[in-house]
Structure formats: structure tokens, C-alpha cells
């Protein structure tokens, strides 16, 4: 026969369940049960700790402390046993631990990686789990990924990346109490299998040959031995730096950035006609045809816009590298669209942030965004099998293509022979 206490308990459980309330929260029907289980486990840990040696050294129980625990089941209070010498280190709920269960921490880090602010995360956790978490605690939880960020920044790289793009995103970062504008330079590479990979992220207030030398030396120290084509938007000091570390690399300046910069100095009434003439240069079928069109462009516009024409002439060798390749490869390398597409996805996550508290706060969020974005990079670039063959014809032995074959054209199970293409 049920007791009155049992009946009241069952009614409380049913009422809370039907109303959607957290059964394990502070006022939840199951909270006392969870509290009891945890406290008994801590008591058992204390009993194990106070062995004969501990007691022989004069150590013994010294009352209990109180702690509020936040978990995926809600918030509840527990009593924690203490010893006189403060040598007890519980495993179930560690000292100074207030978040129980890694799954809640993982949820918080996941929400942060999607661009949610600490305020929004706190509101979401409170609504879902009846648990209030301060911004300080949220920051401590997201700081758990700092070792992962550092390990990722120092991970080994492949010896060869066929195409590498470099571009920057700009953010506000607090430094010594004041807000500073900093650039986050991202390096996107395509390996010989045609798959995209972010090789590194580097923060700087200014660019120049010395900065790029440090970046490229870091990539080299992590195992990168060769870059076939490096695509940039005419970053200051980059060409000198890359040729000192990767002397065989081709540098292709972004045509789109060059056009944008040119139009800044062209009067609005002339822009349409100027662009019509400029297209004959960068959309030419060959470098020779493009150079003839560039001469025509100078003759028509050189007197009126000498700075623009001089810029095209000065950068021509690095602007025109793409003419060596067929149309599919040209489209890949003559712009930095690939890395800019990555940046657009990152900005969806970072756009809610005003100013980051420090460099690591910026790196944490962009790292999490990057890991989410890279999950979608499961296939090689379109028509990569044709692209890599053309690159092999151009660069030869710098691309170690391996074919696994047997007499029937297929590799037998357990036997692998390799022929260099």
C-alpha cells in the first residue's frame, strides 16, 4: 500500500513532467535523489582517502562544505566532505568545480562556436536546463579549447600544397584597455588531392616583409616544403618573403583586387568605358594579346590616369601568371575568391562581436568556426583530376603523383605497387 509521501512524490513528478519543468532542477522531484547519490559517492571517496597512513599522520574528517552544482539536469546544492589537512582531492566533483558533466561544457563551446554571445548562451542554458551560468564561468569553459587552438596552430603540414591563398580579416581587439584594429591573416591551401585546408591563422597590427618571413618560416618549420602557386592581393613585402623561403613558388596577384584599387582613381563618368577597355587586358586569350591590349589602354588613358596605368605595368609579371594555364585553372588562381568565401562564412559567426578582449579570444572563435566550416570540405575541387595533370605538366617532379596499379589496372588486396607519373 502506498504511503502518503509516495503518493505526493508521484504527483509532483507527474505535474512537473506534464508542465515541462526540469525534474532534476533545484525544485525538481528527482533533485534530492541525484543530490543523495553524489553525496554518498563523495563520502565513499573521503573514506578511501583517509586510509591508515593518512590517519596515522593525524588527518581526519573536518566537517562539510556546501557547493552549488550546475549540470545538464539543472542546478542543485550538495554537501562536500572535508579533511583537516585539506589533502582530499575528490574525483567525481573536483575542488572548485561547479559545472558537472562534460556534455554541458561541450554544448556551451558548440553554441559559442556558432557565434552566440555569452549573454545569449547564458539565457539559452537557463531556459533549457534551469541552470544559471555567469559570463566569467562561460569564459572559463571556452578557455578549455585554448590547448586545442595551440596544438592546431602547430600541427604538422603536408610537404606540398599546389595552390595557396592569403587574405586578411580585420577585427577590433582590446590591448591594455584600449581598442586596436588588428588583421587576422588566414592561409588556405589546396593539397595534391585537391582538398582545401586552413594552414594557419596569424594576427598582426601591420604587414611587411619581416612579418611574412615569420609566417612563411613557421609553415616551413611545420613541414611545408613547396608551394606551386601563391595567390594574394598584393600584400606588402609578401613576394620578397615567399621567394626567400619557397624560391620556386609562383606569385599570382588577385586581378579583382587590382581592378577594385584601379577604380578608386577613375572618375565615375569614365569607369564604364575604362572597364570595357580593361577587360580586353585581363580576359585576353594569351599573355601576348593581353600585353597589346595593355599598350592600347596606356595610349588611351595614360595621360588622364597615369597612376592606374603605372600600377598595372609595375605589377604586370605577377598579375599575368595565370595566362600560362587553361581557363579552369585561371579561374581558380587569378582571384582570392576561395579564401574570401571562407571569410564570408567566418564573418557569419563573428559579426555579433564588438571588440575581442584579447588575441586569444579572437583565435578561439575563428578556430571553432573554422572547424565547423572544414567539416563541409569533404570533396576535392571540381575537375581536380584534370587540374592536377596540367599542373604536373607545368611543374613536373615537384608534384609526386602516385598511381597504384597491377596488370589488370587495379590494385590487388594486400599488394600495392607504385609508379611515379
Q: Which pLDDT tens digit goes with each residue over 152-161? A: 999 999 999 9
pLDDT of residue 171: 93
Tens-place pLDDT, residues 283-308: 999 999 999 999 999 999 999 999 99
Residue at grid coordinates 562536500: 80
Highest mean pLDDT, choosing among 3-17, 32-46, 62-76, 367-381: 367-381
pTM comes to: 0.71
Q: Which residue has the higher pLDDT, 348 or 92?
A: 348
Mean pLDDT over 399-414 rounds to 49
Q: Is the pLDDT of residue 238 over 80?
A: yes
- Report d(CA 18, CA 203) in Å as an integer: 52
pLDDT of residue 114: 79
Mean of per-residue pLDDT scores for the chain: 82
Q: Is the pLDDT of residue 229 over 70?
A: yes
pLDDT of residue 127: 67
pLDDT of residue 184: 92
CB-count exposure of residue 192 (10 Å: 0-12, 13-18, 19+): buried
Range with the poorest average pLDDT among 89-93, 126-130, 287-291, 391-395: 126-130
Short-list 149, 154, 187, CA closest to 169: 187
- Report d(CA 364, CA 112) in Å as an integer: 9
Tens-place pLDDT, residues 188-215: 999 999 999 999 999 987 777 888 899 9
Range with the poorest average pLDDT among 55-59, 74-78, 188-192: 74-78
pLDDT of residue 68: 78
pLDDT of residue 335: 84
pLDDT of residue 13: 47
- φ/ψ (deg, to 5) at 337: -60, -35
Model confidence band, residue 266 (pLDDT cutoffs 50, 70, 90): very high
Cell (9 digits) for 111: 553554441
Q: Is the pLDDT of residue 11 over 60?
A: no
pLDDT of residue 415: 29
Cell (9 digits) for 277: 577597355
pLDDT of residue 14: 52
In the sheet that 160-175 helps form, which strands lie side by side, from edge to edge?
196-204, 178-190, 160-175, 226-232, 250-253
Range with the poorest average pLDDT among 101-105, 332-336, 415-419: 415-419
Query: Beta partners for 183?
Result: 170, 204
Amino acid at each position: 500500500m502506498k504511503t502518503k509521501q509516495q503518493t505526493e512524490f508521484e504527483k509532483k513528478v507527474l505535474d512537473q513532467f506534464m508542465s515541462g519543468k526540469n525534474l532534476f532542477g533545484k525544485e525538481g522531484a528527482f533533485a534530492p535523489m541525484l543530490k543523495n547519490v553524489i553525496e554518498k559517492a563523495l563520502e565513499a571517496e573521503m573514506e578511501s582517502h583517509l586510509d591508515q597512513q593518512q590517519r596515522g599522520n593525524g588527518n581526519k574528517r573536518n566537517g562539510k562544505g556546501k557547493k552549488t552544482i550546475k549540470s545538464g539536469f539543472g542546478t542543485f546544492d550538495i554537501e562536500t566532505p572535508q579533511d583537516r589537512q585539506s589533502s582530499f582531492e575528490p574525483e567525481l566533483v573536483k575542488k572548485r568545480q561547479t559545472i558537472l558533466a562534460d556534455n554541458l561544457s561541450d554544448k556551451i563551446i558548440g553554441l559559442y562556436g556558432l557565434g552566440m554571445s555569452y549573454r545569449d548562451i547564458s539565457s539559452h542554458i537557463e531556459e533549457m536546463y534551469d541552470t544559471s551560468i555567469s559570463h566569467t564561468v562561460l569564459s572559463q569553459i571556452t578557455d578549455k579549447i585554448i590547448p586545442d587552438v595551440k596544438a592546431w596552430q602547430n600541427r604538422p603540414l603536408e610537404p606540398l600544397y599546389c595552390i595557396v591563398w592569403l587574405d586578411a580579416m580585420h577585427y577590433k581587439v582590446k590591448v591594455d584597455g584600449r581598442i586596436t584594429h588588428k588583421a587576422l591573416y588566414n592561409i588556405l591551401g589546396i593539397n595534391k588531392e585537391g582538398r582545401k585546408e586552413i594552414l594557419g591563422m596569424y594576427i598582426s597590427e601591420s604587414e611587411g616583409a619581416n612579418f611574412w618571413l615569420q609566417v612563411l618560416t613557421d609553415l616551413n618549420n611545420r613541414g611545408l616544403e613547396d608551394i606551386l602557386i601563391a595567390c594574394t592581393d598584393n600584400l606588402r613585402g609578401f613576394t620578397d618573403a615567399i621567394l626567400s623561403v619557397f624560391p620556386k613558388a609562383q606569385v599570382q596577384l588577385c586581378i579583382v583586387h587590382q581592378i577594385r584599387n584601379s577604380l578608386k582613381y577613375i572618375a565615375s563618368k569614365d569607369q564604364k568605358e575604362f572597364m570595357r577597355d580593361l577587360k580586353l587586358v585581363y580576359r585576353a586569350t594569351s599573355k601576348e594579346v593581353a600585353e597589346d591590349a595593355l599598350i592600347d589602354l596606356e595610349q588611351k588613358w595614360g595621360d588622364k590616369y597615369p597612376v592606374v596605368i603605372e600600377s598595372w605595368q609595375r605589377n604586370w609579371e605577377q598579375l599575368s601568371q595565370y595566362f600560362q594555364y587553361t581557363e579552369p585553372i585561371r579561374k581558380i588562381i587569378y582571384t582570392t575568391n576561395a579564401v574570401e568565401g571562407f571569410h564570408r562564412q567566418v564573418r557569419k559567426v563573428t559579426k555579433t562581436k564588438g571588440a575581442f578582449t584579447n588575441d586569444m579570444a579572437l583565435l578561439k572563435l575563428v578556430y571553432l568556426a573554422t572547424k565547423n566550416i572544414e567539416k563541409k570540405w569533404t570533396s576535392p575541387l571540381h575537375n581536380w583530376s584534370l587540374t592536377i595533370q596540367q599542373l604536373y605538366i607545368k611543374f613536373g617532379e615537384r608534384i609526386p603523383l602516385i598511381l597504384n596499379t597491377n596488370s589488370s589496372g587495379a590494385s590487388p588486396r594486400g599488394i600495392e605497387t607504385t609508379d611515379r607519373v
